[in-house]
Amino acid sequence: MSAIDRARNLLDRLPPRIAAAIIGGAGKIPKMRGVLEAEYEAMLDAAPIVRPEADVPVYSRLPEVGRDRSEIVGFVAALAEAERGDWSDGYASGAVYHGNTEHIEFLNEVYALQSQSNPLHLDVWPSGMKFEAEVVAMTAGMLGSGAAAQNGDEIVGTVTSGGTESIIMAMKAYRDRAGIAKPEMVIPSSAHVAFDKAAAYFGYKQIRVPVDGDYRADVDAMANAVTRRTVVVAGSTPGFPHGVIDPIPELSDMTRERGVGFHADACLGGFVLPWAERLGYEIPLFDFRLPGVTSMSADTHKYGYSAKGTSVVLYRGRNLRRHQFHVATEWPGGLYYSPTLAGSRPGALLATAWAALVSMGEDGYLHATESILTSGARIRDGVGEIEGLHVLGDPLWVIAFASDDVDIYEVMARMAERGWSLNGLHHPPAVHIAVTLRHTQPGVVERFLDDLSDAVDGARAAGGEATTGAAPMYGMAATFPARGAVNELMTRYIDRIYEIDEE
C-alpha cells in the first residue's frame, strides 16, 4: 500500500474538516511537506496528460526564419485530422454540437470573410454591430421577448465569448446595480462553476443550496437562504451535471416576491427547449415569459450550432444591461466604451453566430431538436435497462447515470478505452453524456449502449475499487476528504499541461 493510500485510509475515517486541517497542517511541517510533494508528483505522473498524436514539430521558441505557410497548414491539418474521428464519429459527450462537414465549411467560409473584423472599431466594421444586435434579437425572440414586450418589458443583451462570460457579465450587472457591500448570490449546488468564478472575481458571498432528491433546485431551501444582501438567485434550464431543469416558474415567483434578480441559465438549453416545447414536450415555462426572470444566458456555440466562442446574455430592460457596460471618459487613449469583458472582439465570430442562426432557421432547430431528443430518450431508456445502472433525475438529452453495484469511474475509464469521452461527475459519483447531433448518426446510440453494457460487465468482473486509466485518480478526487489537497493537485495539473515536451 502506498503512503497516500495509507494516509487516505486514515483520513477517510475522520470528519472532512479535521482531515482537511491535518493535510493543511502537514504541509507546514518541512518533513511532511517533502512527503506530500513526492506524493503529488507521483500522482501527477500517473495522471494521463494527453498530447497530440500527429507528427508535428515542437516550438518552444520562435524559428529564426519563418516557415513556409503551406508546410504550416499541413501541420495544422495533420493535428485536426488526428483528432477528428473522436468527436466526428460521436464518441464525445457534448463538445461538438453540430459537426456536419457542410455546416462546418459554411461557418468557416463566413469566418474567413470577416477574420479581420473587430467591433471595437465600429467605424471600420459596422457589420460587427449588425451581426451582434441581430443575434441578440433573434435569441431573445426565441426566449420570450414577445411575451415580455406585451407587458412593456424590453429584452436586451450582448454577445459574449461563451457561457461563462455570459454568466460572469450578468453577475457583474447585478452586483453593480445593487451597489451594496458584500452582495450575496443564492444558487443551487448544480449551477455551473461560472457562478463561482463570478463570485470570486466580484467579491460575492456565494450560497450554494443542495438540490432535492431529483437533482432539482430546492425552492424552499433557496428562499430560506435569501437575505437582505441577496442581489441575485439563479437556476439552470437545464443544469450541466444531471441535465435536469430547475423549477424555474417557482423560482421566478419566489424571487419576484422578494424583489431580487433571477438569472435563468439556459447556456445548455436555450437553443433546445423552445423547440422541444413546440414539438409537444411538456416543459414548464423557463424564459422571459415568466415575469420574475430578469436575465438569461444561452450559448450559440453549443446547441445554437455556431463556431466556438460565442454566447448570448439577455436582460429584462436596458437598466440592468447598463451595469454590464464599461465606459471610460478620462483615459488618455480616448473615449472608450466596451459592452463586454474583452476589449477587441472577434467580429468574425459574431458573423459566424449570425450565419448559424439564419441558416438553421426555426425549421432547422426544430428538426435538430427532434433528432437529439429522440436519441436522448433512447439512451436514457437503454441505460435504465443495463443491470447495475440507474439514470439520475428526469433528464431529456443530458443523461447522467450512476451505480450502486459497480464503480462508475471504472465504467467511465473502460468507456474511454473504447474511445468514449464522457463527463465524470461527483456528489454523487456519476457519469453523463450530453447528446448532440453527432449522436443522432445511424448506429451511434446502439454502439454507446453496447459499449456501456460491456464496460459495466468489465467493471463488475474487476470488482472493488477503480483500477483503470484515470479512474483511480478521479475516484480519489471525488471522495478524498482533504479538498485542499485535491485543489493543489488540480492546480499542479494545470501547470503541467502548459509544459512543452521537448523532442
Query: By CB under 6 A, what part of segment 188-207 binds ligand PLP?
Result: 192, 194
Q: 109 Cβ partners below 8 Å, 6+ apart?
A: none
Centroid of chain to Cα 213: 23
- Helix extents (H) in 386-443: 408-417
Letters for 287-306 (x = contact with ligand PLP by CB under 6 A, - = none) are: ------------x-------
Report the alpha-carbon distance of residue 436 to residue 373 in Å, rounded: 9
Told to check if 162 binds ligand PLP by CB under 6 A, we report yes
DSSP summary character for residue 421: B
Binding test (CB under 6 A) with ligand PLP, winner from 164, 255, 369, 468: 164
What is the nearest approach in angstroms of ligand PLP to the Cβ of residue 422?
14
Contacts of 271 (CB under 8 A, 6+ apart): 142, 298, 299, 300, 302, 303, 304, 305, 365
Rounded CA separation 339/33 (Å): 46
163 touching ligand PLP, by CB under 6 A: yes
Which one of the spans 1-9, 130-138, 204-212, 263-271 is the region binding ligand PLP (CB under 6 A)?
263-271
Q: Judged by CB under 6 A, does residue 236 bind ligand PLP?
A: yes
If binding is defined by CB under 6 A, does position 407 make contact with ligand PLP? no
Please report whether residue 268 would count as binding ligand PLP according to CB under 6 A.
yes
Could you check whether the bond before residue 472 is cis, i.e. omega within 30 degrees of 0?
Answer: no
The binding track of 447-466 with respect to ligand PLP, each residue x by CB under 6 A or -, is --------------------
Q: Does residue 397 touch ligand PLP according to CB under 6 A?
A: no
For cell 438549453, name the residue: 269
Cβ nearer to ligand PLP, comparing 8 with 301: 301
- 323-382 positions binding ligand PLP, by CB under 6 A: none
> Cβ closer to ligand PLP: 166 or 375?
166
Please tell me the total number of residues recorded for the chain in this structure: 503
Query: Which alpha helices (H) appear in 308-432, and where do they start and end?
Result: 318-322, 347-385, 408-417
Terminal alpha carbon distance of the chain = 35
Q: For 460, phi and psi rounded to 5 degrees?
A: -65, -45
Q: Between residues 198 and 368, which has the closer beta carbon with respect to ligand PLP? A: 198
The strand order across the sheet containing 398-403 reads 389-391, 398-403, 430-434, 423-425
The nearer residue to ligand PLP, 311 or 369, going by C-beta atoms, is 311
> Residue 239, interface with ligand PLP (CB under 6 A)?
yes
Q: What is the footprint of ligand PLP within residues 10-69 (CB under 6 A)?
A: none
Least Å distance, CB 341 to ligand PLP, is 12
| Nearest residue to ligand PLP, scored by beta-carbon proximity | 163
Q: Which residues bind ligand PLP (CB under 6 A)?
A: 162-164, 167, 192, 194, 236, 239-240, 265, 267-268, 299, 311
